[in-house]
């Protein structure tokens, strides 16, 4: 279980907020916490990651993981990464780690957004494509790994937990009383309707 968080938009986030958020993320991944930031024209991008090392324990597989002009933060596991790695090698890709993280980013470089069609596993990830100036967010087909999003008038926050978003945005967000009432009255069956959460304007990224 790793933790991811980030932002894309027109707001610059202070260093102390980045560090505070990384501290909150440590419970999801005690082995390494790190962040990257990018600026292109008037757009700021921040990628934060907290790692629980499972595959390729070496620090070379720490995240955010960068290759060429792409940067990845990833929570989960790609079960068929060895088969994908062999296919990508046959297509001319070179690997410097034994991680499924590198297989994921190389798959994106080979197949673009369609790379998710090749994955067998559970995941939530964010890839910043510096060439296209595009951020790709994805969750696995069954939504096993969490990813929440919070849209403001200046940009988009995202994270594995809502408290990461609250920390980065300095916004505690309002309680979603409708969601809370439905849950107290109807129980768990009321959850996951329209991807709402217990906080207004914070939604689950749709799975698949």
pLDDT score of 66: 95
Say whether 190 sits in a helix, a strand or coil.
helix
pLDDT score of 29: 86
Please provide residue 95's backbone torsions phi and psi, each rounded to the nearest 5 degrees.
Answer: -115, 140
Handedness of CA 53, 58, 64, 70 (dihedral sign): negative
- Count CA atoms closer than 13 A to 97's CA, side-chain side: 21
Q: How far does Cα 120 stand from its chain's mean position? A: 17
Q: Is 2 considered catalytic here? A: yes
Q: How far does Cα 9 stand from its chain's mean position? A: 16
2, 116, 149, 179: which one is catalytic?
2
User: Structure tokens of 165?
Assistant: 């978003």
Handedness of CA 108, 111, 117, 121 (dihedral sign): negative
pLDDT score of 193: 63
Burial of 94 (C-beta count, 10 Å sphere; 0-12/13-18/19+): exposed
User: Structure tokens of 83?
Assistant: 């088969």
Q: Please name the residues in contact with 15: beta carbons below 8 A apart, sequence gap of 6 or more.
A: none
pLDDT score of 44: 97
With vertex at residue 171, the alpha carbon angle to CA 167 and CA 174, rounded to the nearest 5 degrees, is: 125
Q: Which residues of 79-88 are buried (b: 16+ CB within 10 A; e: fewer)?
A: eebeebbeeb
pLDDT score of 85: 97
User: Structure tokens of 148?
Assistant: 């929440």
- Count CA atoms closer than 13 A to 51's CA, side-chain side: 24
Q: What is the pLDDT along the chain (208 residues), one digit of tens a residue?
A: 799 999 999 999 999 999 999 999 999 988 889 999 999 989 999 999 999 888 878 788 889 999 989 999 999 999 999 999 999 999 999 999 999 999 999 999 999 999 999 999 999 999 999 999 999 999 999 999 999 999 999 999 999 999 999 999 998 788 888 888 877 877 766 666 678 888 999 999 998 8
- Dmax (CA) for the chain in angstroms is 57
With vertex at residue 143, the alpha carbon angle to CA 140 and CA 148, rounded to the nearest 5 degrees, is: 100
């Amino acid at each position: 279980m790793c933790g991811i968080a980030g932002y894309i938009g027109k707001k610059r986030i202070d260093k102390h907020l980045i560090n505070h958020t990384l501290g909150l993320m440590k419970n999801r991944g005690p082995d390494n916490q790190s962040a990257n930031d990018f600026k292109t024209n008037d757009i700021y991008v921040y990628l934060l990651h907290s790692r629980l090392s499972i595959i390729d324990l070496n620090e070379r597989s720490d995240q955010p993981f960068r290759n060429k002009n792409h940067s990845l933060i990833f929570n989960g596991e790609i079960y068929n990464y060895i088969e994908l790695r062999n296919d990508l090698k046959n297509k001319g890709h070179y690997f410097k780690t034994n991680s499924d993280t590198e297989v994921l980013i190389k798959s994106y470089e080979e197949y673009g957004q369609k790379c998710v069609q090749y994955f067998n596993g559970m995941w939530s990830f964010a890839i910043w494509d510096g060439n296209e100036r595009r951020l790709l967010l994805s969750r696995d087909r069954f939504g096993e790994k969490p990813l929440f999003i919070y849209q403001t008038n200046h940009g988009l926050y995202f994270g594995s937990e809502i408290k990461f978003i609250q920390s980065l945005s300095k916004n505690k967000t309002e309680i979603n009383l409708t969601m809370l009432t439905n849950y107290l009255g109807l129980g768990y069956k009321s959850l996951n309707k329209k991807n709402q959460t217990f906080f207004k304007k914070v939604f689950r990224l749709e799975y698949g």
